[in-house]
Structure 1
Amino acid sequence: MTATVVNDRATGASRVTVWRGYRFELVKLVSQWRIRLLVLACWIAPALFVTGVSQQSTLPSDTLFGRWMLATGWAAPLVMLGFAGTWALPLLTSVVAGDVFASEDRLGTWRHLLVAVRSPRRIFLAKSLASLSVILLLVTGLACSSTVGGLLAVGNRPLVGLDGHLLAPSDAAGKVLLAWVCVLAPTLALAAIGLLGSVALGRSPMGLLLPALVALATQLAQMLPLPVAVRLALPSYAFIAWNGLFTSPAQLGPLLVGIVVSLAWAVLATALAFLLFLRRDFTGLTYDGSGRRAITTGLLPLAGLVALSVAAVAVVTPSVGSGIQQEKVQRSVATVFAHLYRLQTEQLHRPDVTEARLRASAACNKGAGQVAAEGPGNDWRCVVSWHIPGVQVTGQAVYQLDVTADGRYMADGDGPKEVNGYFMVRTSAGDAPNPLWQFDGNVELTSTP
């Protein structure tokens, strides 16, 4: 087969252009029934899900922005984004990119394809671009379907950010779009890993499962109390770091680091897949992968990239350890409470008061003060204090916090009942969700106390 390619070059035989090869590979992909089903599901299922949730009395409050799905349509694409980063996108990249080369091994069509195209480089480029186009179509479907479904079912209303401040519909739209664009970087990393597995492992089903397995392993690692440098050096962190867009000011540091790391993974994995593809033997009909070469050329460079990323992030970021310290938690809880207190004041038609005049502060401890107040855990307790102008008594409210290893936390109100003791508050327009009953927040891991 190599001799055939060389002879074609010598005689000046015309080659198939990359554009024609790309169209051919794209038609091959979209003609598969499973790809068509995925496209249909991504463009329809999110809207149906959002519509169904809007008809329910209970909400997915354990999901970020889930508690706001009945308040604004812009919460729906963010709930879908959280689900997509955990489950949908790893599975989609596995089905598309993880099978684009392996399918030729199963069908035994490499020789016919090489004779027609006469360039392994063009074949690799065409297949890679075709799989990337399908993945972008699927991601666009998830984003558009959930957004349209949310706006039609709930409406174009302001969105409450992760620090409690209100985002106007136009601002919410821009940040939602930017959040979906940001997760393209880790999606590209998983797609590149899928290409690498498809090339290196041949007909083995492990090539198809490789992106999902890598995503699962890195997501499990994100749940562990890892140092900040290790956490940010994993490509899965960019699936989480978009949360920082919904604070004021935006927490852009971790997001930029996550995007750069993900793009580095995408470039390296694609380059390794390209090298393995050029070196493989296309004459064997029973090719089952490159064996030892897949480890030395594929796995070891990615492991080296992780080590290099950890060292670089450790130098760039000032935080050490888990990145969750007492001062950060206190500052974040006080900020969110102050913003949401004003929202509750507006609901109850009380005189407005600014955050500066409230002077909200929080005193937090962990494990009832028996352990150091740092790191993740569900044993955080905060007492929030605030001052109302013209009132001598200082207001206080208690919250129980569940802080996860990635810096996100949920604060559950524990009294007094007039402030955060009830799920609903009675307003002049009827009962409405109490914004101070439970709220989500985010601790920026890379900031300094």
Structure 2
Amino acid sequence: MTATVVNDRVNDRAAAAGRVSVPRGYRFELVKLVSQWRIRLLLLACWIAPALFVAAVSRQSTLPTDTLFGRWMHATGWAGPLVMLGFAGTWALPLLTSVVAGDVFASEDRLGTWRHLLVAVRSPRRIFVAKSLASLTVILLLVAGLACSSTVGGVVAVGNQPLVGLDGHLLAPSDAAGKVLLAWVCVLAPTLALAAIGLLGSVALGRSPMGLLLPALVALAMQLAQMLPLPVAVRLALPSYAFIAWNGLFTSPTQLGPLVIGIVVSLVWAVLATALAYLLFLRRDFTNLTYDGSGRRAITTGLLPLAGLVALTVAVVAVATPSVGSGIQQNKVQRSVATAFAHLYRTQTEQLNRPDVTEAQLRATAACNKGAGHLAAEGPGNDWRCVVSWHLPGVEATGQAIYQLDVTADGRFVADGDGPKEVNGYFLVRTPIGDAPNPLWQFDGNVELLSTPPPKG
């Protein structure tokens, strides 16, 4: 009896001595990831390519005006990282999370190395934690590369100039720098959600290519959903909205409501998907060398809880927010267009060396309709028309300008000047960095989807 107890204690000590701690496992998994040629190539690309791209585009005569802040890439270096952020949220980040998180567990299935890893580490729990942290570290390095590289490329190529916000007001370079950094930090939340979905797919589907593609497919489906005229509650309940909601940082006052909801929803998705991946990983049979994932378990333990989360978040957002329908309403569009026009009118006045005028003196208002007044003035569409009116000190006549608007389902709009040409037509104005198009000719704006009271005064 005594000998048995002694042997058990010796075995326990040997097992404890042979266990690999989480920090050691994390370093081992991180080295394994970084040693892969495709990960090294991605790191190199993310830290170099954005700077070259932003610098090259900023030097071109034709700018990506269909991209948010693209029309300002000649004017300031802070527009470049925002253009890159829009591209990253749509394409780059979903693909990066697929390559890293979507393959971190499946690679062991393809190589057949689970038995060796389990013998070395002796704890599926520590293996899961180490792999998850290693993949998260690589993803953060990739995102940091995109942000830093595009910022350096923009500032070096164009300069540290003020940035025009989405309501026409000028952001000082220091303010623009802080908001650009904050915007990149905010998209980490939906990136974590996609990374967690990648972990779930990698665990649930084994060596199947679908596990690798899952984050990209989920992101694509959510992007398509954001393009549809969905109710506000459904739109905000998807983590993909956090890739768009950073737009609200560049208005005054900032539109924080949708951004906060998008971040919270994304973090909830990240926690739930990671927990589901953890439970599936602990339940899998490592003795089966031909394991290809459990389709039924992937649906019951992975897909159904996430679908239930969507329904729950839609209900919570619908109750917590006052907005209904598309969130794009006539009074919001009119207020956004009038505010942006007033700010940009002051910019134009300065560039044309005219007497300064304040927004309060202009008293700009907008009257907008949709479909030439034959349709209800709400919802997205390219058939919005606005007539902006304003007043100048000492002038009795009221100035008016016409704009054609293309309003997208996420609240962004592009206003295209339709006369008079002396006000919002195309002509060049003198700026400190050279000639530039009339700021009132075309401009971007943003309609907050959540209901907000009109500004006082």
- Indicate the TM-score class for this superposition, using the shorter chain for normalisation: over 0.9
Q: Distance in 2 between matches of 1:84 and 1:277?
A: 30
Match of 1:213?
A: 217
Match of 1:441?
A: 445
* Counterpart contact for 1:8–1:118, Cα < 8 Å: no
Cα shift readout 1:292-329 (whole Å, capped 9, x = no counterpart): 11110000000010001001000111000000000000
Structural mapping, 1:275-290, within 5 Å: 275-290=279-294
Using the size of structure 1 for normalisation, the TM-score is: 0.97
C-alpha displacement of 1:393: 1.1
Structure 2 residue matching 1:388: 3-state secondary structure: coil
Match of 2:341 among 334, 337, 341: 337
Match of 2:16 among 10, 13, 18: 13
Q: Which amino acid aligns with 1:273?
A: A
Match of 2:147 among 137, 140, 143: 143
Q: Distance in 2 between matches of 1:383 and 1:65?
A: 24
Cα shift readout 1:115-143 (whole Å, capped 9, x = no counterpart): 00000000000000000000000000000
C-alpha displacement of 1:415: 0.7
Structural mapping, 1:84-95, within 5 Å: 84-95=88-99
> Structure 1 residues 98-107 or 431-440, which shifts more?
431-440
Cα shift readout 1:137-196 (whole Å, capped 9, x = no counterpart): 000000000000000000001000000000000000100000000000000000000000
Distance change >3 Å, CA 361–CA 202, structure 1 → 2:
same
Q: Distance in 1 between matches of 2:60 and 2:394?
A: 42
C-alpha displacement of 1:428: 9.7
Q: Distance in 2 between matches of 1:131 and 1:13?
A: 26
Cα shift readout 1:88-114 (whole Å, capped 9, x = no counterpart): 000000000000000000000000000
Q: What RMSD, in angstroms, separates the aligned Cα atoms of the two structures?
A: 1.4
Q: Which amino acid aligns with 1:345?
A: T
Structural mapping, 1:37-186, within 5 Å: 37-186=41-190
C-alpha displacement of 1:433: 2.1
Q: Distance in 2 between matches of 1:8 and 1:78?
A: 58
Tell me whether 1:386 sits opposite 2:390 in the alignment: yes
Distance change >3 Å, CA 398–CA 112, structure 1 → 2:
same
Q: Which runs of 5+ in 1 are unaligned?
A: 1-6
Structure 2 residue matching 1:57: 3-state secondary structure: coil
Q: Which amino acid aligns with 2:103?
A: D
Distance change >3 Å, CA 9–CA 103, structure 1 → 2:
farther
Match of 2:6?
A: none
* Counterpart contact for 2:337–2:366, Cα < 8 Å: yes
Tell me whether 1:265 sits opposite 2:269 in the alignment: yes
* Counterpart contact for 1:90–1:211, Cα < 8 Å: yes
Structure 1 residue matching 2:404: 3-state secondary structure: strand
Distance change >3 Å, CA 400–CA 8, structure 1 → 2:
farther
C-alpha displacement of 1:13: 3.2
Match of 2:331?
A: 327
Cα shift readout 1:199-239 (whole Å, capped 9, x = no counterpart): 00000000000000000000000000000000000010000
Q: Distance in 2 between matches of 1:427 and 1:448?
A: 35
Cα shift readout 1:317-349 (whole Å, capped 9, x = no counterpart): 100000000000000000000000000001011
C-alpha displacement of 1:431: 3.1
Cα shift readout 1:16-35 (whole Å, capped 9, x = no counterpart): 01011000000000000000
Q: Distance in 2 between matches of 1:424 and 1:281?
A: 69
Q: Which amino acid aligns with 1:229?
A: A
Q: Distance in 1 between matches of 2:59 and 2:152?
A: 16
Structural mapping, 1:418-429, within 5 Å: 418-425=422-429
* Counterpart contact for 1:76–1:150, Cα < 8 Å: yes
Match of 2:361 among 354, 357, 362: 357
C-alpha displacement of 1:429: 8.5
Distance change >3 Å, CA 157–CA 282, structure 1 → 2:
same
Structure 2 residue matching 1:226: 3-state secondary structure: coil
Distance change >3 Å, CA 29–CA 429, structure 1 → 2:
closer
Tell me whether 1:200 sits opposite 2:204 in the alignment: yes
C-alpha displacement of 1:290: 1.6
Tell me whether 1:346 sits opposite 2:350 in the alignment: yes
C-alpha displacement of 1:9: 5.8
Q: Distance in 2 between matches of 1:423 and 1:298?
A: 56
Q: Which runs of 5+ in 2 are unaligned?
A: 1-9
- Provide the identity percentage: 89
Q: Which amino acid aligns with 1:228?
A: V
Structure 2 residue matching 1:126: 3-state secondary structure: helix
Q: Distance in 2 between matches of 1:38 and 1:402?
A: 36
Q: Distance in 2 between matches of 1:102 and 1:58?
A: 44
Using the size of structure 2 for normalisation, the TM-score is: 0.95
Q: Which amino acid aligns with 1:237?
A: Y
Structure 2 residue matching 1:402: 3-state secondary structure: strand
Structure 2 residue matching 1:368: 3-state secondary structure: coil
C-alpha displacement of 1:8: 7.0
* Counterpart contact for 1:348–1:427, Cα < 8 Å: no
Q: Which amino acid aligns with 2:16?
A: A
Q: Which amino acid aligns with 1:349?
A: N
Q: Distance in 1 between matches of 2:433 and 2:86?
A: 32
Q: Distance in 2 between matches of 1:448 and 1:156?
A: 33
Distance change >3 Å, CA 345–CA 9, structure 1 → 2:
farther
Tell me whether 1:293 sits opposite 2:290 in the alignment: no
Q: Which amino acid aligns with 2:285?
A: D
* Counterpart contact for 1:332–1:442, Cα < 8 Å: yes
